[in-house]
Amino acid sequence: MGSRNKISSSQLFCLLLLSRGVLSVACGAFGGNIGSAALSAAIALIASILLSIPVLYLGKDGTAELQSGAGRAVSGIYAIYFFYSVCVTMSMFTVLREETSGMRISVILVPILMAAAAVYASYKGIEAIARCGALILFAVASAFVLLCLSLIPKSDMLNLPPVGSYKVADIIDNAVIMVGEQSCIPAILFIYPHIKGSVKKPTVLWLFVLFACVIFLSLFITSILGDYALSQPFPVYSWARLSSFGVLQRLDSIFLAVWTAGVFVRLTLLLWVLSVCIRYAFGKKPSKLAAPVFGVAALITAVAVPFNTAIRSLVLNPGLLLFATIFCCLVLPFALILKRRLGK
């Protein structure tokens, strides 16, 4: 493994924050209610820390277990999970585009370009993805700071609902979505051998920063949109549409641009992890074809999502996503730990 395939702890942090953050922005695809999202985020933070423990416990040697014997089958299951995650990400991208621009721009062309770019970038290796991710994270963070600053005068504390008015069902629904979207936690298992330095610290820091941002944004957005947020499929996007800075109007275009760049990094990372899974399961040759093959399959799924309710409800299913994430964060790592123990 050359130095080109090594990333630092801070790059890992940036990559995880960006990859997971872009999904929070499009939470409306799952039908979540932003009103009580702050409380759900606190629950999701605790759940995510618990889910990351087995992966972090496996550590660098976890990948050795994945490349031999029954571990290969586990790698295959992880590949299916990451493929599902790619489908979810691509579908969110097409659904948000559908909601924000109708179908004026070709529903197929943009995802094709996105998938092609992501497949190409995934061949460049984790180091290139991490460098790109850090740059894009800087752009995303700058854009959000700009949007927040421009919208501060529009916030009204009366729009924040009292905690007593939160519905338990909403809190649980949001927490399910937030934990279900944590596909970055099992991905750490495959990135682990490529990291110079500590993994535990950036992972824990990532979870705290991520959910702190989610809590802040959900409260801030609710204080601006009030009950209007309930009528919007993508409240974060609707929030961005209200922004303006002096003569600069309609800053939502900035939001869409940086969000698209963030989705690109997430897709690239997932496709790279997916090809690593295939390499562990089936060897080097098939892994070279993994990114384009799964990329095309995800593209077909994502393009079908806006038109087919059955596919949409299957792909963007919070319950299924939560089950898959818990299975890959807890059950499979425990199986690997067991394998290691029995092997000794």
Partner 1 sequence: MKRFLALCLGLIFILSISGCSPIENNLDKRLIVQGIGIDLDKTDYKVTVMYMDTANPVGEADVKSSFVEGSGSSVLAALTDTANKTGREPLYGQCSFIVLGGELIKNGIAEPLEFFTDYYEFHPNINIFCSENAADKIMRADNMSVRLMQDFADTESSTGKTISCTLNEIYADLISGKKSAVTALVDIENKHAVLKGAAAFDGDKKGAVLDSEQCMAVLLLCGDAKSVWDIFPSDEGGNINYSLSYCKSNISASTNEALVFNISVNAHTAAYGAKSNGRLEAKIKSRIKSVCEDTLDTLLKKKKLDVFNLERTLYKDDYGFYKALENSKQSVVLSRVNVQVEIELEK
The amino acid sitting at 88 is V
238 binds partner 1 (CB under 8 A): yes
Residues 116-135 that bind partner 1 (CB under 8 A): 116-117
Binding residues for partner 1, total number by CB under 8 A? 31
158 is a site residue for partner 1 (CB under 8 A): yes
Q: Applying CB under 8 A, does 165 fall inside the site for partner 1?
A: yes
Out of 64, 80, 110, 314, the only residue in the binding site for partner 1 (CB under 8 A) is 110
Is residue 248 part of the contact set for partner 1 (CB under 8 A)?
no
CA distance readout (Å), 320 to 30, 39, 205:
12, 22, 27
| Separation between Cα atoms, residue 141 and residue 343, nearest integer Å | 46
Rounded to 10°, the helix 109-122/126-151 angle is 130
User: Is 246 among the residues that bind partner 1 (CB under 8 A)?
Assistant: no
Report the nearest approach of partner 1 to the CB of residue 27 (Å): 18
Phi, psi of 196 (to 5 degrees): -90, 120
Contact flag: residue 164 with partner 1 (CB under 8 A): yes
Q: Is 224 helix (H, G, I), strand (E, B) or coil?
A: helix
Which residue in 10, 335, 300, 329 sits closest to 181, CA to CA? 329
In angstroms, give the least distance from the CB of 78 to partner 1: 30
Residues 190/60, Cβ–Cβ less than 8 Å: no
- The CA-atom distances, in angstroms, between 178 and each of 152, 161, 231 are 26, 21, 20
DSSP string for 257-309 = HHHHHHHHHHHHHHHHHHHHHHHHHH-HHHHHHHHHHHHHHHHHHHHHTTT-H
Site string for partner 1, 86-105 (x = CB under 8 A): -------------xxxx--x
Choices 29-37, 66-74, 188-196, 219-227; region in contact with partner 1 by CB under 8 A: 219-227
Q: Which of 8, 9, 244, 260 binds partner 1 (CB under 8 A)?
A: 244
Indicate whether 113 belongs to the interface with partner 1 (CB under 8 A).
yes
Question: Under the criterion CB under 8 A, does residue 149 sit at the interface with partner 1?
Answer: no
Residues that bind partner 1 (CB under 8 A): 99-102, 105-106, 109-110, 113, 116-117, 157-162, 164-165, 225-228, 230-232, 238, 241-242, 244, 250
